Amino acid sequence: MDTKQLIKAAKEASIHSYSPYSKYKVGAALLTKNGKIYTGTNIENASFPAGMCAERVALFDAVKNGDTELESLAIYAEGENYPFPCGICRQVVSEFTRDIKIIIAKSENDYVIKNISELLPDTFEFSI
């Protein structure tokens, strides 16, 4: 899958954003190693902690479908700043892989690519 195609899928997902408070429409497109794409958009709530980021919506859909081998994740939002994932999303992604390409895009031609290990160098890990 081409980077620009994944960004386009994230952009299309952002159209369905429920963001009446921030007006910041975010879309995410997650590509798994089997070639399937899961999309998500941010969903806000008047009780702010009850909302959900686009990245986690896409990831939770993949997990719900038993698809946990992640390859790349595109995050898209229009604006002057790149829509870097929040700390919670970084931690959730790192639960499944430390080797995933994160594409952070303002457009199909204006983006940066990072590895989750760069975005979250020291993860919280739990062991029994």
Residues taking part in catalysis: 55
User: 87: left (phi > 0), else alpha (psi -120 to 50), else beta?
Assistant: alpha
Compute the distance between CA of residue 102 and CA of residue 48 in angstroms, rounded to an integer: 25
Q: What is the residue whose two structure tokens read 């895009």?
A: 105
How many CB atoms are closer than 10 A to CB 120? 19
**Residues in CB range of 1: below 8 A, 6 or more apart:** 31, 35, 37, 72
Q: What is the residue whose two structure tokens read 């946990």?
A: 68
